[in-house]
């Protein structure tokens, strides 16, 4: 269902550009006396193409060069065809990413450009991964507010206007110190104390509001800490669980920035991507809520180090606690209750802690240090 206020803003931006050039969208302008459906039709006519709809969605991934986007694009391209999945970001991709399938520049703070991308490429599914993570967001709150909230508003309006199926990830960081922590249910008090967490609660509620108010097909998963072998840590509080593998192989020494007994829910990347695709493909009538917890395992830095020691016995682990990250972790869930996801759309994880560590070293473990240990 088109949005009158948003379509007015879109028409205003088409007339005057996207703002002052500072990266923050200009103030909205209302179009008086203009039919919202006419505005949408006129915008679409800039790139009118006669085509027959295929059975596959046309997918756009924003923030695609982060930890999850490249892997998601690879999975979706196998499923729907390479040319049906467009990866986007504001950074230059590596050659292997650029040549693996369609890639375009997309700034989520540039409403006009993002809208043109959706229209010109006949997008039907949008995965919105653009965000500043927890620790990075605390270091630059104004930027986190712009990217995580203003960018979200642009995506919501465009998705509602063009009847997209929209996925926005949420996080364990959407909960706070007053939330039940062990386990944390889908519905409970949420009072996060980071701009990242606040912005994700905002995204959950706005998505649910747009679903009930405008019929937007909004779907959201609260991710635990995600661990993958083919990406570097990106500034999140749970990134120690990725860093330990790289440091173990390179130097045999690891400094953990969380206390050894800090328990947090975690998940291997393949499980995360599988869950994301499954919830997007789930029949709408099977979904009893718009935002679900998902989980696979829960462990502490000490427990993870014990498993890593099986591969690199000489690994030296020390604890140099970062008080900012520790305070964030202490306010987050220790375990997720994801029973609703398992009941509604059949969520089931594949990787527990031993399988996780084995898989990580199978990707990273060509180093002679591991070969000797084995």
In a domain, 4, yes or no: no
Q: What is the domain-level CATH number for residue 140?
A: 3.40.50.720
Assess if residue 105 is contained within a domain. Answer: no
Give the N- to C-terminal CA distance of the chain in Å, as an integer.
59
- The active-site residue, picked from 111, 196, 223, 311, is 196
Average pLDDT over residues 125-139: 91
In a domain, 347, yes or no: yes
Query: Which region holds residue 53: left if phi is over 0, alpha if psi is between -120 and 50, else beta?
Result: beta
Residue range of the domain that includes 292: 131-372
Greatest C-alpha distance within the chain: 75
pLDDT of residue 68: 92
Strand partners, 24: none
Kindly report the length of the chain: 374
pLDDT at 237: 83
Let me know if residue 31 belongs to a domain. Answer: no
- pTM equals 0.81
pLDDT in tens, 296-343: 999 999 999 999 999 999 999 999 999 989 998 999 999 999 999 999
pLDDT of residue 50: 33
User: In this predicted structure, what is the pLDDT of residue 52?
Assistant: 35
Instruction: Name the packing angle between helices 240-250 and 353-364 (round to 10°).
Output: 40
Cα 225 to chain centroid distance, Å, stands at: 11
How far, CA to CA in Å, does 188 sit from each of 15, 179, 209, 293, 307?
45, 7, 18, 12, 33
Is residue 3 predicted with pLDDT exceeding 80? Answer: no
Task: Grade residue 60 by pLDDT with cuts at 50, 70 and 90.
Answer: very high
> What 8-state DSSP symbol labels residue 296?
S
Contact indicator for 149, 132 with CB cutoff of 8 Å:
no
When pLDDT is averaged across residues 171-199 and rounded to a whole number, the result is 95
Predicted local distance difference test score (pLDDT) of residue 135: 81
Assigned domain for 139 exists: yes
The total of structural domains in the chain comes to 1
- Asked which of 35-49, 168-182, 201-215 is least confident by mean pLDDT, the reply is 35-49
pLDDT at 347 over 50: yes
Pairwise CA distance, residues 126 & 110, whole Å: 16
- Is the model's pLDDT at 26 over the cut of 70? no
- Report helix, strand or coil for 55: coil
Instruction: Say if 37 falls within a structural domain.
Output: no
Top pLDDT among 251 and 373 is at 251
Closest among 71, 355, 92 to 230, alpha carbons compared: 71
**pLDDT band (50, 70, 90) for residue 54:** low
Work out the average pLDDT over 220-227. 95
Q: Quick one: which of 125, 128, 124 has its CA closest to 68?
A: 128
Report d(CA 88, CA 101) in Å as an integer: 11
Average pLDDT value for residue range 92-101: 96
H/E segment holding residue 6 = helix 4-16
Asked if the structure places residue 60 within a domain, the reply is no
122 band by pLDDT with thresholds 50, 70 and 90 = very high
Catalytic residue list contains 196: yes
Rounded-to-5 percentages of helix, strand, coil across the chain: 45, 15, 40
Mean pLDDT (the chain, rounded): 85
For the chain, percent of residues with pLDDT exceeding 90: 75
Residue 357's Cα: distance from chain center in Å? 23
pLDDT digits 0-9 by tens, 252-308: 999 999 999 999 999 999 999 999 999 999 999 999 999 999 999 999 999 999 999
Q: Tell me whether residue 88 is in a domain.
A: no
pLDDT above 90 for 117: yes
């Amino acid at each position: 269902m088109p949005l009158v206020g948003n379509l007015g803003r879109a028409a205003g931006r088409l007339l005057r550009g996207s703002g002052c050039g500072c990266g923050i969208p200009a103030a909205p302008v209302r179009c008086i006396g203009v039919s919202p459906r006419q505005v949408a039709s006129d915008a679409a006519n800039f790139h009118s193409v006669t085509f027959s709809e295929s059975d596959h969605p046309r997918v756009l991934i924003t923030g695609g060069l982060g930890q999850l986007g490249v892997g998601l694009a690879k999975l979706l391209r196998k499923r729907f065809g390479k040319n049906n999945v467009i990866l986007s970001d504001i950074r230059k991709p590596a050659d292997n990413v650029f040549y693996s399938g369609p890639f375009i520049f997309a700034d989520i703070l540039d409403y006009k450009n993002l809208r043109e991308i959706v229209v010109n490429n006949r997008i039907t599914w949008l995965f919105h991964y653009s965000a500043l993570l927890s620790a990075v967001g605390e270091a630059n709150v104004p930027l986190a507010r712009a990217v995580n909230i203003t960018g979200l508003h642009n995506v919501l309006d465009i998705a509602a206007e063009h009847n997209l199926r929209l996925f926005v990830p949420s996080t364990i960081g959407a909960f706070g110190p007053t939330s039940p922590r062990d386990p944390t249910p889908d519905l409970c008090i949420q009072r996060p104390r980071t701009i990242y967490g606040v912005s994700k609660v905002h995204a959950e509620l706005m998505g649910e509001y747009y679903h009930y108010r405008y019929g937007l097909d909004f779907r959201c998963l609260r991710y635990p800490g995600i661990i993958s072998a083919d990406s570097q840590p990106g500034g999140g509080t749970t990134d120690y669980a990725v860093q330990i593998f790289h440091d173990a192989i390179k130097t045999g020494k690891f400094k953990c920035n969380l206390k050894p007994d800090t328990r947090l829910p975690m998940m291997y990347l393949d499980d995360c991507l599988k869950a994301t695709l499954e919830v997007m493909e789930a029949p709408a009538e099977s979904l009893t809520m718009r935002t679900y917890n998902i989980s696979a395992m829960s462990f502490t830095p000490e427990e993870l180090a014990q498993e890593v020691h099986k591969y690199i016995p000489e690994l030296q682990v020390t604890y140099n606690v970062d008080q900012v990250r520790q305070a964030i972790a202490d306010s987050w869930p220790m375990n997720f209750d994801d029973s609703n996801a398992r009941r509604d759309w059949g969520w089931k994880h594949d990787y527990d802690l031993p399988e996780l560590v084995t898989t990580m070293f199978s990707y990273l473990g060509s180093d002679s240090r591991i070969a000797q240990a084995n």
